[in-house]
């Protein structure tokens, strides 16, 4: 879908693939959420990716999207497939939200876009599962899943599995006692052919929390209600997330363990800045992408003085942007030669043609826990 903003999918994917510790946990205070991931005791690489993004739609309303992807073991580049899946979801939701469409279409397009991106990149040799949660203040909460990553909803004393695994055991409702053949995936992001999935709306969410989990966490629920007990007795969602991933490791850590816990009280979320941007969090850090829509909104650096007289340029309405502002090429000119001064010999640095546009996507990285 065409959009006035520059695409940011490759940059977000690279950020999700940066070097990180074996385990990480992050509280996302602005949206009452917590993210946690642990490599486990067996795997040499964490092929799970989970992140949460916050932005504004075309009407200026806040939306939040959480996405968890589990790269499929035994196939090519599981971590890369998972990172591409999550970044494609964020890119598609942002593009859809910038138009006049409804949130259910954003979620459906996000799944399709992730599926297409992974299949085009890996030609069926790699893939990932996906569970996503889309929260809007005005039009409700939506979710979708492909594979065996799950969505749970916690309500007081009850932990309810909302999603259904795309396995034979999951479709038959007997995941606990199923053998390994019945737990094989029937479909996943990046496989050949179309996907069969639904975008559903959550109702009765006041006071509840949602949990997105990879199978390295929800294997705890196979033989008992241990997972439910952890969720029920933890004092807050940050401790819940940490306990679930630590418990998975203590129980043998057979797989990467990843969880996102999000409050469904959307009305309590903090609003994003007034300028166009996308905030993204994962268990290890956060990034802010400042999106500049038009060329006449490109920022001008105040610390660069041009020796050439120029008309004043309009600045983007970015007051508290933490990322360094990027000037246009016209704002930076060669030093003026002073009379009587000898110019040092050397090759002159090439300059970009006049009118070259500066990048329209700015990044602010923070890896503080």
Residue 301 reports pLDDT greater than 50: no
CATH number (domain holding residue 144): 3.60.40.10
Name the strands in the sheet holding 209-213, side by side, starting at the edge strand that comes first in the sequence.
23-28, 33-38, 257-263, 209-213, 150-155, 158-161
317 belongs to a structural domain: no
Domain range spanning residue 254?
Answer: 9-288
Above pLDDT 70, what percent of the chain? 74
318 belongs to a structural domain: no
Please give the pLDDT value at position 180. 62
Calculate ∠ Cα 265-134-138, nearest 5°. 60
158 belongs to a structural domain: yes
2 belongs to a structural domain: no
The residue with greater pLDDT, 15 or 226, is 15
Rounded to an integer, what is the distance from CA 67 to the centroid of its chain? 6
Q: Which residue has the tokens 């000037």?
A: 327
314 belongs to a structural domain: no
Please give the pLDDT value at position 254. 94
Above pLDDT 90, what percent of the chain? 61
Please give the pLDDT value at position 347. 52
pLDDT tens per residue across span 112-162: 999 999 999 999 999 999 999 999 988 999 999 999 999 999 987 889 999
369 belongs to a structural domain: no
Please give the pLDDT value at position 368. 47
Please give the pLDDT value at position 279. 97
299 belongs to a structural domain: no
DSSP codes, 176-231: TT--GGGGSBS--BT-SS------EEE-S-TT-EEEEE-HHHHGGGSSSSHHHHHH
Domain count within the chain: 1
Please give the pLDDT value at position 308. 37
Please give the pLDDT value at position 177. 53
pLDDT tens per residue across span 184-207: 889 999 998 899 999 999 987 778
- Sequence-separated (6 or more) residues with CB below 8 Å from residue 224: none
pTM, 2 dp: 0.79
137 belongs to a structural domain: yes
């Amino acid at each position: 879908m065409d959009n006035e903003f520059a695409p940011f999918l490759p940059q977000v994917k690279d950020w999700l693939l940066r070097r990180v510790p074996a385990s990480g946990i992050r509280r996302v205070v602005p949206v009452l959420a917590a993210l946690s991931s642990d490599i486990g005791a067996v795997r040499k690489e964490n092929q799970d990716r989970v992140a949460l993004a916050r932005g504004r739609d075309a009407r200026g309303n806040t939306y939040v999207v959480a996405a968890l992807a589990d790269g499929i073991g035994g196939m090519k580049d599981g971590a890369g497939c998972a990172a591409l899946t999550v970044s494609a979801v964020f890119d598609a939701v942002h593009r859809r939200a910038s138009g006049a469409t409804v949130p259910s279409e954003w979620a459906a397009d996000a799944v399709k876009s992730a599926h297409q991106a992974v299949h085009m990149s890996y030609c069926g040799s790699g893939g990932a599962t996906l569970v996503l949660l889309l929260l809007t203040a005005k039009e409700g909460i939506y979710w979708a899943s492909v594979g065996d990553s799950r969505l749970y909803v916690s309500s007081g004393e009850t932990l309810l599995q909302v999603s259904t695994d795309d396995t034979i055991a999951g479709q038959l409702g007997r995941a606990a006692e199923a053998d390994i053949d019945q737990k094989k995936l029937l479909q996943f992001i990046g496989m050949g052919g179309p996907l069969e999935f639904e975008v559903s709306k959550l109702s009765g969410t006041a006071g509840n929390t949602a949990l997105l989990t990879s199978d390295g966490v929800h294997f705890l629920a196979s033989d008992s209600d241990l997972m439910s007990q952890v969720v029920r007795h933890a004092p807050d969602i940050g401790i819940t997330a940490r306990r679930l991933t630590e418990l998975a490791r203590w129980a043998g850590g057979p797989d990467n363990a990843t969880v996102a816990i999000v409050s469904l009280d959307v009305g309590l979320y903090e609003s994003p800045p007034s300028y166009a941007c996308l905030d993204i969090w994962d268990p290890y850090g956060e990034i802010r992408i400042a999106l500049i829509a038009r060329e006449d909104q490109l920022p001008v650096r105040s610390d660069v003085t041009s020796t050439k007289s120029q008309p004043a340029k309009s600045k983007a309405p970015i007051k508290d942007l933490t990322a360094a502002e990027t000037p246009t090429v016209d704002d930076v000119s060669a030093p003026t030669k002073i009379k009587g001064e000898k110019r040092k010999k050397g090759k002159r640095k090439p300059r970009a043609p006049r009118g070259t546009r500066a990048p329209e996507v700015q990044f602010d990285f923070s890896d503080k826990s």
